[in-house]
Amino acid sequence: MQRLKTLFRALALAVGLSGLSTTACAQATKPNIVHIVVDDLGWKDVGFNGATDIKTPHIDTLATEGARFTQFYTQSMCTPTRACLMTGRYPFRYGLQTMVIPGTAGYGLDTSEWLMPQCLKEAGYNTAIIGKWHLGHGDMKYWPKQRGFDYAYGATIGELDYYTHGDLGVLDWFRDNKPVHEEGYTTTLIGDDAVRYINAQSPAKPFYLYLTFNAPHTPYQAPAETIAKYSNIADDTRRTYAAMVDCLDENVGKVVAALDDKGMRGNTLIIFHSDNGGTRNAMFAGQMADISKISLPCDNGPYREGKGTLYEGGNRVAACANWPGRIKAGDVDGMIHAVDLYPTLAALAGASTAKCKPLDGLNVWDVIAANKPSPRTEIIYNVEPFRAAVRQGDWKLIWRSLIPTSVELYNLAEDPYEKNDLASTHPDKVASMQQRINELGKECTKPLALMYIAGVGLAHGKPVIASEGGQPQAMISDVSITDEGVGDRDIHAHPNK
């Protein structure tokens, strides 16, 4: 009998080290899942992607001892990416493809979607969100506690002060739907609450912790003592930003240590990634920072542009995964999109996706665990009425459909930094990819953000009439429908500037 037990242990170890298959994993003990999402982190603002001025030892350890993703894609802004994660479906299917949900808006993620926490909860998981939600705040039916999370702590909107926990005097800090008035820096509060949550879990029941730090999103704020650690950085904003990422790393380390102390680390999958690329365009920097007085601090390395755009810098993000003995250490080069995490995690958990609407995501566990070829051959960056982008294999097309229209074509295998537009030399490729985008366009739901903007802008209101000697009304200048959180910088405007 003892020899038989030894044989079973040896076989289990061999399976684990070779990159456990989805089937084998589902038959084993259900893993705990800690899914860490950070906010507006630059691709090169972590050590494992080459940062030298910002120290991220805890995150780097997860990456170097696990899978470091070289082609992990999200949407280019917060709300759309978080919707992908929760639904396993592209946001153009339910109207969240454009912008983020504004603080003054009342819409949210369609309640007919079957979300990740609902799916995992049916499979026997405790479910928790600790951090930022941003999928609906104006009506409680959209709040996470009503969408499958047993426990919810943190913020509902997209941007808040790190110390007052709100915006313009409105508190946005809740625990299980109840407002929480407390002191502290949000990154630290989120980390501390995650540690408490882990300590309260029983090894007898698996848990899913969706840990969503609002760092390092604007406003750029950090504890003075942490900023002082980066006195070698000359730029004031970069110095503060470095301190924000440092605090983020410290709290990731606390969470990993809590899992170790609880004896749960060996059965816990940790996934880490940003919700989009770092901000490189002031139009997408949020509303709580005066960008006219600072330089944007995020570094996306060699990738073009950043948050809010359809270029790689906006969508290809810093990401890694770690599960001791189950994920092979090294680079993972296959394409993975945020929508893939839903079916992948559901399969690992032995959860049914029968209640989901048709998923866009694919099970990519073998890619994550053992760097096997990805089943994904296409990435939909976005489909909006005024712009879209798609990748098929190595080819990427960006199409701006507003008059005057423009189209760009890149071969990412040869030109990952999008410097050489090949549209004029490959008209057949352009035509076929435009046809694909038009097909997807027929499946789109109207963008809720544009409907909201139209409703506010066209609402019957008090007329504004000029008067002699009066101050002129403020107008939005230099901004088009492809700017200010709606889309890319208008490449046709002011060509001589």
Measured distance CA(50)–CA(68) in Å, rounded: 12
Residue in 368, 358, 359, 363 with CA at minimum distance from that of residue 346: 363
Q: What is the pLDDT of residues 349-374, one digit of tens each?
A: 999 999 999 999 999 999 999 999 99
The tens digit of pLDDT for each residue in 39-56 reads 999 999 999 999 999 999
pLDDT value of position 474: 54
Burial (Cβ within 10 Å: 0-12, 13-18, ≥19) of residue 138: middle
Beta strands, E only, 197-259: 207-212
CA distance 200 to 130: 14
3-state secondary structure of 164: coil
Contacts of 426 (CB under 8 A, 6+ apart): 409
* Bridging pattern class, strands 395-400 and 406-411: antiparallel
Please name the amino acid found at residue 427: P
Helix, strand, or coil here: 131?
A: strand
Buried b (16+ CB within 10 A) or exposed e, 103-126: bebebbbbeebbbbbbbbbbbebb
How far is it, in rounded angstroms, from Cα 268 to Cα 273? 16
- What is the C-alpha separation between 55 and 5, in angstroms, rounded? 44
For residue 150, count other CB atoms closer than 10 A to its CB.
Answer: 16
Residues 6+ apart with CB under 8 A from 337: 72, 73, 74, 84, 360, 361, 376, 379, 380
Quick one: which of 411, 469, 399 has its CA closest to 437?
399
Q: Which two tokens stand for residue 91?
A: 């946001």
Q: Is 134 among the residues known to form the active site?
A: yes
- Cβ pair 396, 389 in contact under 8 A: yes
pLDDT score at 445: 97
d(CA 186, CA 247) in angstroms, rounded, equals: 10
Q: What DSSP line would sit under 335-398, residue for residue?
A: -EEGGGHHHHHHHHHT---TTSPPP-----HHHHHH-PPPS--EEEEEE-SSEEEEEETTEEEE
Instruction: Supply angle C-alpha 194, 135, 39, rounded to 5.
Output: 55
> Please, what sign has the CA dihedral across residues 236, 241, 242, 248?
positive
The pair phi, psi for residue 191, each rounded to 5°, is -60, -45
Catalytic residue among 25, 35, 58, 78: 78
Q: 344, 363 in Cβ contact below 8 A? A: yes
Residue 313: both structure tokens together: 């810098």
Angle ∠(117,123,129) on CA atoms, nearest 5: 25
Question: Which sign does the torsion angle of CA 316, 318, 324, 329 carry?
Answer: positive
pLDDT in single tens digits along all 497 residues of the chain: 444 434 334 434 344 444 444 444 444 589 999 999 999 999 999 999 999 999 999 999 999 999 999 999 999 999 999 999 999 999 999 999 999 999 999 999 999 999 999 999 999 999 999 999 999 999 999 999 999 999 999 999 999 999 999 999 999 999 999 999 999 999 999 999 999 999 999 999 999 999 999 999 999 999 999 999 999 999 999 999 999 999 999 999 999 999 999 999 999 999 999 999 999 988 888 888 788 888 999 999 999 999 999 999 999 999 999 999 999 999 999 999 999 999 999 999 999 999 999 999 999 999 999 999 999 999 999 999 999 999 999 999 999 999 999 999 999 999 999 999 999 999 999 999 999 999 999 999 999 999 999 988 778 777 767 777 766 655 544 444 433 344 444 444 443 33
In this structure, are residues 377 and 345 in contact, taking their beta carbons and an 8 Å threshold?
Answer: no
406 in helix, strand or coil? strand
Please report the pLDDT score of residue 447 as a whole number.
97
Q: Which of 25, 58, 119, 134 is catalytic?
A: 134
Say what the pLDDT of residue 338 is.
98
What is the percentage of the chain residues whose pLDDT exceeds 70?
A: 89
Question: Can you give the pLDDT at residue 471?
Answer: 63
Mean pLDDT of the chain: 90
- Residue 67 β-bridge partners: 321, 330
